Amino acid sequence: MSVYRGAREVYIGSEDLGELFAGHHKAFIVSDPFMVENNMTSYMTDKLEARGIEVQVYSEVGSDPSTELVAKGIAVLSEAKPDLIVAFGGGSAIDLCKAMMFFAQKQGLVDDAKFVVVPTTSGTGSEVTDFSVITDLEKEIKYPLVDRSLMPDAAILDCELTKSVPPAFTAATGMDALTHAMEAIVSTGATDFSDAMAEKTIKIVRSYLLRCYRNGSDMEARQAMHNGATMAGVAFNNAGLGINHSTAHAVGAHFHIPHGKACAIMMPYVIRCNAKNENARLNYARISRLIKMDESGINQSVLNLIDTIFRFNKELGIPVTLRDAGVGLEDFKEDLDAMVDSAMKDTCTKTNPRVVSKEEMRQLFIDAFFGDKIKLRNLY
């Protein structure tokens, strides 16, 4: 039996949030230093303080939230004892806030509090998922934390918060959303319900990501991508992900390449690897139809999809290989075995459409580093 879990409450815009904050007295906001320094957190603090709610802002957030940052944050959160917790920012702030709240509640350091997420980027989908990703800096491993208690009570989607996001970051987060949607479709846990969200996301990315990238003031495109990223979050939260994320987690932990960028680089090579499975091949051909790049033959449709992702990355200024992304050969060789082990053990690998051997995973990283000539190799 499968169970579909959707978002609890999603507010699009911020015109009337009175009901959301009613009955609360003390709010704890987790955001990153940039948001605080540029007074972007006033978006939330002004609304809360206008309702007489005491507000504390915590901003010790890093680009890859670490176990050390989680421990430090738990101490501050447990002292604050809020009845409303707000994650305000990109994926790092949301992941850190989720982990802080999860472990603090598990240890009985804070009571249950209403949890609201306000994403300021369009990509992670964390505002509607049971996921958080934390990094062990010493071991160079990213740990996906999965628990139903990590699902926010409400999400606020306001594209006004994304209009100042730089083009490179818009590209990376947009490709993260696309990866979520594509992996949800080919995942072994896919259902008609998750497919509906994923397919809509792919159409949105097809139509609006380049518009956002080229013109950050295009608010129609911004809101569409904001909505699409959330839909993709719902999709993969129900269906699961795959080795695109497993490998991206490993690359990010070892070489600190931003997550969405790592996903985008790995994507064409992952498609080729997974397309050895017939069901995955058919699903990739379906995705090719969604982006209007299909052909009469299944294999050619998959190859067209791969070509399209390469072309899309180039138009978005994203490297097509790990080497082009600045990873040195000696560093790559030194870390390769550890990355393979990490990807094989990653939770996301469990729902990949085909079982990948350790040697295949190793070859996948090698192909992504050197730039394998996919067109010249068989899909199966």
Answer yes or no: is pLDDT of 296 > 90.
no
What pLDDT shows up at residue 377? 46
Q: Are 153 and 116 in contact (CB under 8 A)?
A: yes
Answer yes or no: is pLDDT of 379 > 50.
no
Q: In this predicted model, what pLDDT tens digit does every residue of 63-86 receive, in sequence order?
A: 878 999 999 999 999 999 999 999
Which segments of the chain does DSSP mark as H helices, in order? 18-21, 33-37, 42-50, 67-80, 91-106, 167-186, 192-214, 219-239, 243-255, 259-274, 278-290, 298-315, 329-345, 358-370
Closest CA to 227 of 159, 178, 181: 159
Closest CA to 374 of 299, 319, 287: 299
Closest CA to 246 of 267, 232, 230: 267
Both tokens assigned to 289: 């139809």
If pLDDT is split at 50, 70 and 90, which confidence band does 17 have? Answer: confident
Q: Which residues contact 196 (CB under 8 A, 6 or more apart)?
A: none
What pLDDT shows up at residue 13? 77
Neighbouring-strand partners of residue 271: none
The CA distance from 283 to 121, in Å, is 28
The CA distance from 41 to 275, in Å, is 44
Answer yes or no: is pLDDT of 35 > 50.
yes
Q: How many residues does the chain have?
A: 380
- Please give the average per-residue pLDDT across 92-103, as a whole number: 95
Percent of the chain residues past pLDDT 90, beyond the cut: 83
Both tokens assigned to 109: 């350091």
What pLDDT shows up at residue 111? 87
Answer yes or no: is pLDDT of 376 > 50.
no
pTM value?
A: 0.91
What pLDDT shows up at residue 60? 93
If pLDDT is split at 50, 70 and 90, which confidence band does 205 have? Answer: very high
- Please give the average per-residue pLDDT across 318-334, as a whole number: 96
Same fold, 10-162 and 167-376: no
Answer yes or no: is pLDDT of 143 > 90.
no
Residue type, 163: K
What pLDDT shows up at residue 375? 46
Answer yes or no: is pLDDT of 239 > 70.
yes
Computed over every residue of the chain, the mean pLDDT equals 92
- Please give the average per-residue pLDDT across 127-139, as a whole number: 89
If pLDDT is split at 50, 70 and 90, which confidence band does 373 have? Answer: low
Say which CATH topology domain 167-376 has: Dehydroquinate synthase-like, alpha domain (1.20.1090)
CA angle (330 as vertex; 326, 334 as ends), nearest 5: 110
Residues 10-162, CATH architecture: 3-Layer(aba) Sandwich (3.40)
Q: Are 45 and 69 in contact (CB under 8 A)?
A: no
- Please give the average per-residue pLDDT across 130-134, as a whole number: 90
For 80-92, b where at least 16 C-beta lie within 10 A, e where not — what string?
bebbbbbbbbbbb
What are the domain boundaries of the chain?
10-162, 167-376
What pLDDT shows up at residue 378? 46
